[in-house]
Amino acid sequence: MSALLSGLLDAALDASIVFSFDRNGFRRHARGFEPKDLEVDLAGRTVLVTGANSGIGRAAAGGLARLGARVVLLCRDEARGREALGELERETRSRTLEVVRLDVSDLADVRRVAGLFRDGRVDALVHNAGVLPDRRVTTRDGLELTLATNLVGPFLLTSLLMPALERARGRVVHVSSGGMYTQRLDVVELFRGGGESFDGVVQYARTKRALVVLNELFAGRFAGSGVTFSAMHPGWADTPAVRTSLPRFHAVTKAILRSPEEGADTVVWLAASPAAEGRSGLFWFDRAPAATTPLPGTRETAEEMDRLEAALAAAAGLDGAPTSPAGEARGRRRRSRGS
Ligand SMILES: NC(=O)c1ccc[n+]([C@@H]2O[C@H](COP(=O)([O-])OP(=O)(O)OC[C@H]3O[C@@H](n4cnc5c(N)ncnc54)[C@H](OP(=O)(O)O)[C@@H]3O)[C@@H](O)[C@H]2O)c1
């Protein structure tokens, strides 16, 4: 087949989503991966991965440990964390894995854990922990659980760890979801968390959309800091979350789901590869930048982005006033969007 025909076929398969999010999509995209990208030695580097005891987070932690990093598994359940640590040590032969307990939905816990790392160097922070609950749960901070876990906790952790990330000219990786494509940023609904008519899938997609916007906000606010901010989605990977939160989806798709390692590949690449350095504020899929708003009506306004930033600062208990670089970045965005 000519290169042109194979390129057209790839584009058509990607447009179909099911043939791009699945394992065949990964394998097709992986043919274009550059092996040298991950020929890196991360010895002496510190990487934090939330939700690292399971699924994509565990696979990402393993991939980064194989590259020599000191990997800190941030897990809400210490016993599950220790079990994953033992398995990963056997699989990777790494002796630089650690477990630290962190419930990312609990803002006091986020502050405690940030305090352990803030004065050192953090080379990469991977926000992988995520939930898709089937009913509305409120955290002790008064936030809906999906919002607290997938968005507010990560926002606070990054904000508090900025000194350590800047010292290392580090990377922040936000694990979003292809589900975010279905939602437009709506800060009022996002923080209302569905109210009495809670729909877990919709709230999950809202938080994942907001995470992609947050990535852009951070990239603007901290442009020039040396820190690279990325968001990505892993496609569809066979993990405990998919089995338990989406059992019908899992039953139909299980034969074509990616492995956790395939889902985690772009996380490892973004956290480790020189090829990803400095390409801040982008949304990635299979090591390539992806569109964020291909569906009509899903593009957020600059005002809605401002609202998100203010709502996150208030929810996380940070001083609300955005820093001047953020203000400048928002000004630039407004001008470029013509609003
Ligand atoms: N699998 C997919 O196809 C897919 C697709 C799109 C996006 N994603 C995203 O990928 C990420 C990983 O999901 P996964 O599929 O690998 O699911 P998973 O195997 O269930 O892993 C989720 C991890 O997050 C942890 N976690 C949940 N709440 C937490 C909290 N409050 N504090 C700390 N850790 C917490 C879980 O800990 P416990 O083990 O203690 O529950 C678990 O380690 C999520 O952000 C998810 O939204 C996955």
Give the model confidence (pLDDT) of 164-217 as tens digits.
Answer: 999 999 999 999 999 999 999 999 999 999 878 899 999 999 999 999 999 999
Structural domains of the chain, count: 1
- Which residue from 20, 21, 53, 54 has its CB within 8 A of the most atoms of ligand 1, so it is best to mutate? 54
Task: Kindly state the average pLDDT of the residues 298-302.
Answer: 95
The Å distance, Cα 21 to ligand 1 centre, comes to 17
Q: What is the mean pLDDT of residues 148-173?
A: 98
Task: Classify residue 286: in a domain, yes or no.
Answer: yes
What is the tens place of the pLDDT at every residue in 212-267? 999 999 999 999 999 999 999 999 999 999 999 889 999 999 999 999 999 999 99
Chain segment 19-42, per-residue pLDDT in tens: 799 999 999 999 999 999 999 999
Tens digit of each residue's pLDDT (9 = 90 or more) over 104-125: 999 999 999 999 999 999 999 9
On whether the pTM is more than 0.85, the answer is: yes
Instruction: Report yes or no on 51 lying in a domain.
Output: yes
Domain that holds residue 170: 37-337
What tens digit of pLDDT does each residue of 70-93 get? Answer: 999 999 999 999 999 999 999 999
> Please, which contacts does 244-253 make with residues 24 or more away whose CB atoms are closer than 8 Å?
245/131, 245/132, 245/133, 245/134, 245/200, 246/132, 253/22
Measured by CA distance, the residue closest to atom 23 of ligand 1 is: 51
- Would 24 be classed as within a structural domain? no
Catalytic choice (155, 191, 204, 218):
204
Q: What is the pLDDT of residue 320?
A: 54
User: Is the predicted pLDDT of residue 327 greater than 80, yes or no?
Assistant: no
In the numeric block, which tokens belong to residue 110?
Answer: 């986020």
Ligand 1 atom, smallest distance to 129 CA:
24
* Res 338 pLDDT > 60: no
Domain assignment present for residue 1? The answer is no
We report the CATH number of the domain holding residue 291 as 3.40.50.720
Distance 52 CA to ligand 1 centre (A): 8
> If pLDDT is split at 50, 70 and 90, which confidence band does 334 have?
very low
The reply to whether 2 falls in a domain is: no
Predicted local confidence at residue 194, as pLDDT: 84
Catalytic annotation on 204?
A: yes
For residue 120, tell me if it sits in a domain.
Answer: yes
Say if 20 falls within a structural domain. no
* Residues flanking ligand 1, CB < 6 Å: 50-51, 53-57, 76-77, 80, 102-105, 128-131, 149, 175, 177, 233-234, 236-237, 239-242, 263
Residue 29 falls inside a structural domain: no
